[in-house]
Structure 1
Amino acid sequence: MAFSMGTTATLSHSGQPSVSSISSTASISYPRSSSLHIVTVPWKRSDGYRAFSTKLNMNQRSYKGSLKVTCESTLNMAASTEWMQKTFSLPPFKRGCHIITRYIYEAVPEISQFEVGLANLFILHTSASLTINENASSDVPLDMEDALNRIVPEGNNYRHLDEGYDDMPAHVKASMMGCSLTIPVTAGRFHLGIWQGIWLNEHRDYGGPRRICITLEGKKKADTRKYT
Protein backbone atom coordinates (compact mmCIF):
# COMPACT_ATOMS: atom_id res chain seq x y z
CA MET A 1 0.00 0.00 0.00
CA ALA A 2 1.28 3.47 -0.78
CA PHE A 3 -0.09 6.91 -0.04
CA SER A 4 1.26 10.30 -1.02
CA MET A 5 0.11 13.88 -0.95
CA GLY A 6 1.67 17.25 -1.61
CA THR A 7 0.79 20.91 -1.48
CA THR A 8 2.65 23.94 -2.73
CA ALA A 9 2.09 27.64 -2.25
CA THR A 10 4.09 30.75 -3.07
CA LEU A 11 4.05 33.98 -1.10
CA SER A 12 5.91 37.07 -2.24
CA HIS A 13 6.39 40.46 -0.64
CA SER A 14 7.92 43.57 -2.08
CA GLY A 15 11.54 44.00 -1.04
CA GLN A 16 12.21 41.09 1.38
CA PRO A 17 10.53 37.85 0.58
CA SER A 18 10.82 36.30 4.03
CA VAL A 19 9.01 33.19 2.87
CA SER A 20 9.58 32.35 -0.77
CA SER A 21 7.76 29.04 -0.96
CA ILE A 22 6.03 26.50 1.19
CA SER A 23 5.85 22.85 0.30
CA SER A 24 5.07 19.64 2.10
CA THR A 25 5.15 16.04 1.01
CA ALA A 26 4.36 12.86 2.85
CA SER A 27 4.81 9.26 1.81
CA ILE A 28 3.60 6.16 3.58
CA SER A 29 4.74 2.68 2.57
CA TYR A 30 4.51 -0.71 4.16
CA PRO A 31 7.77 -2.67 3.77
CA ARG A 32 8.20 -6.14 5.16
CA SER A 33 9.14 -4.75 8.53
CA SER A 34 6.54 -3.07 10.74
CA SER A 35 8.33 0.24 10.45
CA LEU A 36 6.56 3.30 9.03
CA HIS A 37 8.87 5.95 7.56
CA ILE A 38 7.50 9.48 7.01
CA VAL A 39 9.60 12.22 5.45
CA THR A 40 8.29 15.78 5.44
CA VAL A 41 9.75 18.93 3.92
CA PRO A 42 7.68 21.68 5.55
CA TRP A 43 9.57 24.89 4.75
CA LYS A 44 11.85 26.38 2.18
CA ARG A 45 12.89 29.72 3.60
CA SER A 46 15.08 32.59 2.50
CA ASP A 47 17.61 31.63 5.18
CA GLY A 48 18.16 28.16 3.75
CA TYR A 49 16.63 24.73 3.48
CA ARG A 50 15.45 22.72 6.47
CA ALA A 51 14.07 19.22 6.45
CA PHE A 52 13.49 16.62 9.07
CA SER A 53 12.83 12.91 9.04
CA THR A 54 10.75 11.01 11.55
CA LYS A 55 10.68 7.26 11.88
CA LEU A 56 7.64 5.78 13.60
CA ASN A 57 7.32 2.19 14.74
CA MET A 58 3.83 0.79 15.07
CA ASN A 59 1.84 -2.34 14.52
CA GLN A 60 1.34 -2.46 10.76
CA ARG A 61 -1.80 -4.55 10.79
CA SER A 62 -3.53 -2.40 13.41
CA TYR A 63 -2.70 0.83 11.58
CA LYS A 64 -3.91 -0.54 8.23
CA GLY A 65 -7.15 -1.66 9.86
CA SER A 66 -7.85 1.69 11.53
CA LEU A 67 -6.99 3.56 8.33
CA LYS A 68 -9.41 1.40 6.34
CA VAL A 69 -12.23 1.92 8.84
CA THR A 70 -11.65 5.69 8.87
CA CYS A 71 -11.68 5.92 5.07
CA GLU A 72 -14.79 3.75 4.73
CA SER A 73 -16.67 5.74 7.40
CA THR A 74 -15.81 9.03 5.71
CA LEU A 75 -16.88 7.76 2.29
CA ASN A 76 -20.14 6.31 3.64
CA MET A 77 -20.95 9.57 5.41
CA ALA A 78 -20.29 11.61 2.28
CA ALA A 79 -22.37 9.25 0.14
CA SER A 80 -25.36 9.34 2.51
CA THR A 81 -25.44 13.13 2.97
CA GLU A 82 -28.23 14.85 1.05
CA TRP A 83 -29.04 18.52 0.47
CA MET A 84 -32.34 20.25 -0.08
CA GLN A 85 -33.22 23.93 -0.43
CA LYS A 86 -36.64 25.52 -0.58
CA THR A 87 -38.12 29.02 -0.33
CA PHE A 88 -41.57 29.43 1.18
CA SER A 89 -43.81 32.32 2.21
CA LEU A 90 -45.40 32.98 5.57
CA PRO A 91 -48.80 34.66 5.77
CA PRO A 92 -48.84 38.34 6.79
CA PHE A 93 -48.45 38.87 10.54
CA LYS A 94 -49.18 42.00 12.50
CA ARG A 95 -46.31 43.85 14.07
CA GLY A 96 -44.79 41.88 16.92
CA CYS A 97 -43.21 38.51 17.70
CA HIS A 98 -44.87 35.32 16.47
CA ILE A 99 -44.12 31.61 16.92
CA ILE A 100 -43.87 30.05 13.46
CA THR A 101 -42.56 26.52 14.14
CA ARG A 102 -45.83 24.95 13.01
CA TYR A 103 -45.92 27.02 9.82
CA ILE A 104 -42.45 25.79 8.86
CA TYR A 105 -43.36 22.13 9.33
CA GLU A 106 -46.43 22.64 7.13
CA ALA A 107 -44.48 24.48 4.42
CA VAL A 108 -41.51 22.08 4.44
CA PRO A 109 -42.77 18.51 4.98
CA GLU A 110 -39.41 17.26 3.68
CA ILE A 111 -37.97 17.85 7.17
CA SER A 112 -39.71 14.66 8.31
CA GLN A 113 -37.54 12.58 5.93
CA PHE A 114 -34.25 13.45 7.65
CA GLU A 115 -32.87 11.12 10.29
CA VAL A 116 -30.14 13.55 11.37
CA GLY A 117 -28.84 16.83 9.97
CA LEU A 118 -28.95 20.60 10.09
CA ALA A 119 -31.52 23.16 8.96
CA ASN A 120 -30.60 26.73 8.10
CA LEU A 121 -33.42 29.29 7.97
CA PHE A 122 -32.72 32.60 6.24
CA ILE A 123 -35.28 35.40 6.00
CA LEU A 124 -35.17 37.36 2.74
CA HIS A 125 -36.08 40.75 4.21
CA THR A 126 -34.46 43.67 6.04
CA SER A 127 -37.34 44.71 8.30
CA ALA A 128 -38.17 41.35 9.90
CA SER A 129 -36.02 38.86 11.77
CA LEU A 130 -35.79 35.33 13.16
CA THR A 131 -34.94 34.12 16.63
CA ILE A 132 -35.56 31.22 19.02
CA ASN A 133 -37.32 31.83 22.30
CA GLU A 134 -40.17 30.84 24.62
CA ASN A 135 -42.96 28.80 23.04
CA ALA A 136 -45.35 28.40 25.96
CA SER A 137 -46.32 31.70 27.55
CA SER A 138 -48.15 34.17 25.31
CA ASP A 139 -46.80 37.01 27.45
CA VAL A 140 -43.20 36.48 26.32
CA PRO A 141 -43.71 37.62 22.70
CA LEU A 142 -45.64 40.66 23.93
CA ASP A 143 -42.93 41.58 26.42
CA MET A 144 -40.25 41.09 23.77
CA GLU A 145 -42.01 43.49 21.41
CA ASP A 146 -42.36 46.06 24.21
CA ALA A 147 -38.67 45.73 25.04
CA LEU A 148 -37.62 46.18 21.39
CA ASN A 149 -39.78 49.29 21.11
CA ARG A 150 -38.14 50.76 24.20
CA ILE A 151 -34.65 49.99 22.90
CA VAL A 152 -35.36 51.34 19.40
CA PRO A 153 -38.13 53.95 19.68
CA GLU A 154 -39.86 55.49 16.69
CA GLY A 155 -39.55 59.19 15.90
CA ASN A 156 -38.30 61.76 13.45
CA ASN A 157 -34.69 61.51 14.65
CA TYR A 158 -33.79 59.18 11.75
CA ARG A 159 -32.70 60.13 8.24
CA HIS A 160 -34.39 57.16 6.58
CA LEU A 161 -38.12 57.80 6.93
CA ASP A 162 -39.19 56.98 3.37
CA GLU A 163 -41.95 54.59 4.43
CA GLY A 164 -42.98 56.05 7.77
CA TYR A 165 -41.78 56.29 11.32
CA ASP A 166 -41.63 52.50 11.69
CA ASP A 167 -39.25 52.17 8.71
CA MET A 168 -35.76 52.78 10.12
CA PRO A 169 -36.49 51.28 13.57
CA ALA A 170 -37.50 48.09 11.76
CA HIS A 171 -34.09 47.90 10.07
CA VAL A 172 -32.29 48.41 13.39
CA LYS A 173 -34.35 45.73 15.15
CA ALA A 174 -33.81 43.29 12.28
CA SER A 175 -30.05 43.74 12.55
CA MET A 176 -30.18 43.28 16.31
CA MET A 177 -32.22 40.07 16.19
CA GLY A 178 -30.64 38.47 13.11
CA CYS A 179 -31.68 37.11 9.74
CA SER A 180 -30.81 33.41 10.05
CA LEU A 181 -30.95 30.38 12.33
CA THR A 182 -29.17 27.04 12.21
CA ILE A 183 -31.01 24.25 14.03
CA PRO A 184 -30.15 20.55 14.40
CA VAL A 185 -32.64 18.07 12.95
CA THR A 186 -33.22 14.74 14.69
CA ALA A 187 -35.73 12.05 13.69
CA GLY A 188 -37.57 14.34 11.30
CA ARG A 189 -38.05 17.24 13.72
CA PHE A 190 -36.20 20.36 14.79
CA HIS A 191 -34.11 19.41 17.82
CA LEU A 192 -35.44 22.23 20.00
CA GLY A 193 -35.63 22.45 23.76
CA ILE A 194 -38.97 21.75 25.37
CA TRP A 195 -39.66 25.48 25.83
CA GLN A 196 -38.11 26.65 22.56
CA GLY A 197 -39.95 27.84 19.48
CA ILE A 198 -38.94 29.54 16.24
CA TRP A 199 -40.05 33.16 16.10
CA LEU A 200 -40.75 35.57 13.28
CA ASN A 201 -40.27 39.11 14.52
CA GLU A 202 -42.32 41.44 12.34
CA HIS A 203 -40.93 44.95 12.81
CA ARG A 204 -43.22 46.80 10.38
CA ASP A 205 -46.81 47.86 10.91
CA TYR A 206 -47.73 46.32 7.55
CA GLY A 207 -44.96 43.96 6.55
CA GLY A 208 -46.95 41.64 4.31
CA PRO A 209 -45.96 38.04 3.50
CA ARG A 210 -42.42 37.14 4.50
CA ARG A 211 -40.24 34.72 2.53
CA ILE A 212 -37.83 32.30 4.16
CA CYS A 213 -35.22 30.11 2.48
CA ILE A 214 -34.55 26.82 4.24
CA THR A 215 -31.50 24.68 3.48
CA LEU A 216 -31.49 21.11 4.80
CA GLU A 217 -28.37 18.96 4.96
CA GLY A 218 -28.10 15.52 6.49
CA LYS A 219 -28.88 11.84 6.31
CA LYS A 220 -32.35 10.68 5.32
CA LYS A 221 -34.07 7.55 6.55
CA ALA A 222 -32.87 4.53 4.62
CA ASP A 223 -36.39 3.51 3.55
CA THR A 224 -37.33 7.17 2.68
CA ARG A 225 -40.37 7.00 4.95
CA LYS A 226 -41.26 10.13 6.88
CA TYR A 227 -41.05 10.37 10.63
CA THR A 228 -44.39 11.06 12.29
Structure 2
Amino acid sequence: MEQHFATLSFTTRGRGLLDITDRVRDCVAASGLCKGLATLFLRHTSASLLIQENADPAVQDDLERFFARLVPDGDPLFRHRAEGPDDMPAHVRTALTAVQLAIPVLDGSLALGTWQGVYLWEHRRQGHRREVVVHVLGER
Protein backbone atom coordinates (compact mmCIF):
# COMPACT_ATOMS: atom_id res chain seq x y z
CA MET A 1 0.00 0.00 0.00
CA GLU A 2 1.11 3.49 -0.82
CA GLN A 3 -0.34 6.80 0.24
CA HIS A 4 -0.44 10.34 -1.04
CA PHE A 5 -1.43 13.51 0.82
CA ALA A 6 -2.37 16.95 -0.49
CA THR A 7 -4.06 20.02 0.93
CA LEU A 8 -6.37 21.87 -1.44
CA SER A 9 -7.32 25.49 -0.75
CA PHE A 10 -10.56 27.07 -1.90
CA THR A 11 -12.01 30.54 -1.57
CA THR A 12 -15.78 30.49 -1.31
CA ARG A 13 -18.07 33.34 -2.33
CA GLY A 14 -20.34 32.88 0.67
CA ARG A 15 -23.19 30.50 1.32
CA GLY A 16 -23.63 27.87 -1.36
CA LEU A 17 -22.06 24.84 -2.99
CA LEU A 18 -18.71 24.94 -4.73
CA ASP A 19 -17.92 22.08 -7.12
CA ILE A 20 -14.45 20.77 -6.19
CA THR A 21 -14.64 17.52 -8.19
CA ASP A 22 -11.99 18.44 -10.78
CA ARG A 23 -9.45 19.52 -8.15
CA VAL A 24 -9.98 16.28 -6.22
CA ARG A 25 -9.73 14.24 -9.44
CA ASP A 26 -6.44 15.99 -10.25
CA CYS A 27 -5.15 15.15 -6.79
CA VAL A 28 -6.05 11.47 -7.21
CA ALA A 29 -4.39 11.40 -10.65
CA ALA A 30 -1.24 13.03 -9.21
CA SER A 31 -1.03 10.25 -6.63
CA GLY A 32 -0.39 7.71 -9.39
CA LEU A 33 -2.48 5.17 -7.48
CA CYS A 34 -4.85 2.99 -9.51
CA LYS A 35 -7.06 1.39 -6.89
CA GLY A 36 -7.74 2.33 -3.33
CA LEU A 37 -9.58 4.96 -1.34
CA ALA A 38 -9.57 8.76 -1.38
CA THR A 39 -10.49 10.36 1.93
CA LEU A 40 -11.33 14.05 2.01
CA PHE A 41 -11.34 16.01 5.26
CA LEU A 42 -12.50 19.63 5.57
CA ARG A 43 -10.61 21.52 8.28
CA HIS A 44 -13.50 23.77 9.34
CA THR A 45 -16.65 23.77 11.50
CA SER A 46 -18.92 26.05 9.49
CA ALA A 47 -18.73 24.38 6.08
CA SER A 48 -19.11 20.79 4.92
CA LEU A 49 -18.42 18.29 2.16
CA LEU A 50 -20.99 16.32 0.24
CA ILE A 51 -21.52 14.27 -2.87
CA GLN A 52 -24.50 15.59 -4.78
CA GLU A 53 -26.07 15.76 -8.21
CA ASN A 54 -24.01 17.82 -10.64
CA ALA A 55 -26.47 18.08 -13.56
CA ASP A 56 -29.31 20.35 -12.42
CA PRO A 57 -28.40 23.54 -10.49
CA ALA A 58 -31.94 23.56 -9.06
CA VAL A 59 -30.82 20.75 -6.72
CA GLN A 60 -28.31 23.09 -5.08
CA ASP A 61 -30.89 25.86 -4.79
CA ASP A 62 -33.40 23.45 -3.25
CA LEU A 63 -30.84 22.22 -0.70
CA GLU A 64 -30.08 25.81 0.26
CA ARG A 65 -33.77 26.64 0.68
CA PHE A 66 -34.36 23.51 2.76
CA PHE A 67 -31.50 24.32 5.14
CA ALA A 68 -32.62 27.95 5.36
CA ARG A 69 -35.98 26.68 6.61
CA LEU A 70 -34.45 24.04 8.87
CA VAL A 71 -31.74 26.23 10.45
CA PRO A 72 -32.58 29.93 9.89
CA ASP A 73 -30.05 32.68 10.50
CA GLY A 74 -30.73 34.71 13.64
CA ASP A 75 -32.88 32.03 15.28
CA PRO A 76 -33.38 33.18 18.92
CA LEU A 77 -32.77 29.58 20.03
CA PHE A 78 -29.02 30.11 19.58
CA ARG A 79 -26.81 31.95 22.08
CA HIS A 80 -23.54 31.56 20.15
CA ARG A 81 -23.37 34.59 17.84
CA ALA A 82 -19.70 35.52 18.12
CA GLU A 83 -19.41 36.14 14.39
CA GLY A 84 -22.96 37.20 13.59
CA PRO A 85 -26.45 35.74 13.15
CA ASP A 86 -25.24 33.06 10.70
CA ASP A 87 -22.55 31.76 13.08
CA MET A 88 -24.39 29.06 15.04
CA PRO A 89 -26.68 28.11 12.13
CA ALA A 90 -23.51 27.39 10.10
CA HIS A 91 -22.24 25.08 12.86
CA VAL A 92 -25.59 23.26 13.00
CA ARG A 93 -25.61 22.84 9.20
CA THR A 94 -22.14 21.31 9.44
CA ALA A 95 -23.25 18.97 12.23
CA LEU A 96 -26.14 17.78 10.03
CA THR A 97 -23.89 17.11 7.03
CA ALA A 98 -20.23 15.96 7.06
CA VAL A 99 -16.67 17.21 7.04
CA GLN A 100 -15.26 13.91 5.75
CA LEU A 101 -15.92 11.82 2.65
CA ALA A 102 -14.50 8.49 1.50
CA ILE A 103 -14.57 7.75 -2.24
CA PRO A 104 -13.25 4.56 -3.86
CA VAL A 105 -10.55 4.93 -6.48
CA LEU A 106 -10.82 2.57 -9.46
CA ASP A 107 -8.53 2.63 -12.48
CA GLY A 108 -6.89 5.79 -11.14
CA SER A 109 -10.15 7.76 -10.96
CA LEU A 110 -12.81 8.61 -8.40
CA ALA A 111 -15.56 5.97 -8.59
CA LEU A 112 -18.34 8.58 -8.76
CA GLY A 113 -21.65 7.90 -10.44
CA THR A 114 -22.67 9.63 -13.67
CA TRP A 115 -24.46 12.54 -11.98
CA GLN A 116 -22.31 12.82 -8.85
CA GLY A 117 -19.97 15.67 -7.99
CA VAL A 118 -17.94 16.51 -4.91
CA TYR A 119 -18.93 19.79 -3.28
CA LEU A 120 -17.65 22.08 -0.58
CA TRP A 121 -20.73 23.60 1.02
CA GLU A 122 -20.09 26.99 2.55
CA HIS A 123 -22.58 27.68 5.36
CA ARG A 124 -21.50 31.24 6.19
CA ARG A 125 -22.92 34.25 4.34
CA GLN A 126 -19.46 35.72 3.72
CA GLY A 127 -16.78 34.02 1.66
CA HIS A 128 -13.99 32.19 3.45
CA ARG A 129 -10.75 30.41 2.64
CA ARG A 130 -11.28 26.69 3.20
CA GLU A 131 -8.85 23.77 3.21
CA VAL A 132 -9.54 20.17 2.24
CA VAL A 133 -6.95 17.52 3.10
CA VAL A 134 -6.95 14.69 0.57
CA HIS A 135 -5.47 11.32 1.51
CA VAL A 136 -5.26 8.65 -1.18
CA LEU A 137 -4.39 5.16 0.00
CA GLY A 138 -3.95 2.37 -2.51
CA GLU A 139 -1.91 0.47 -5.02
CA ARG A 140 -0.35 1.31 -8.38
Cα distance in 2, alignment partners of residues 146 and 92 from structure 1? 19
Shift of 1:123: 0.0
Q: Which structure's CA Rg is the greater one?
A: 1
Percent of paired sites with the same residue: 42
2:81 to 156, 161, 166: 161
Shift of 1:156: 4.7
Cα distance in 2, alignment partners of residues 91 and 155 from structure 1? 24
CA RMSD of aligned residues (A): 1.4
Alignment-derived partner of residue 114 in structure 1: 33
Aligned 8 A contact 1:97 1:144 in 2: no
Q: TM-score, normalised by structure 1?
A: 0.58
Aligned 8 A contact 2:18 2:121 in 1: yes
Cα distance in 2, alignment partners of residues 143 and 192 from structure 1? 22
Q: TM-score, normalised by structure 2?
A: 0.92
SS in structure 2 of the partner of residue 165 of structure 1: coil
Alignment-derived partner of residue 150 in structure 1: 69
Cα distance in 2, alignment partners of residues 190 and 127 from structure 1? 26
Query: Could you list the per-position Cα deviations for residues 97-150 of structure 1 after superposition, in whole angstroms to 9, with x for gaps in the alignment?
Result: 222101323456424x22100000000000000011101111111111111111
Alignment-derived partner of residue 105 in structure 1: 25
Unaligned runs of 5+ in 1: 1-80, 221-228
Q: What amino acid is the match of 1:131?
A: L
Higher relative contact order (CA 8 A, sep 6+): 2
Shift of 1:192: 0.5
1:128 to 42, 47, 50: 47
- Aligned pairs for 1:1-228 within 5 A: 81-106=1-26, 109-111=29-31, 113-157=32-76, 158-220=78-140
Q: What amino acid is the match of 1:115?
A: C
Q: What amino acid is the match of 2:47?
A: A
Unaligned runs of 5+ in 2: none
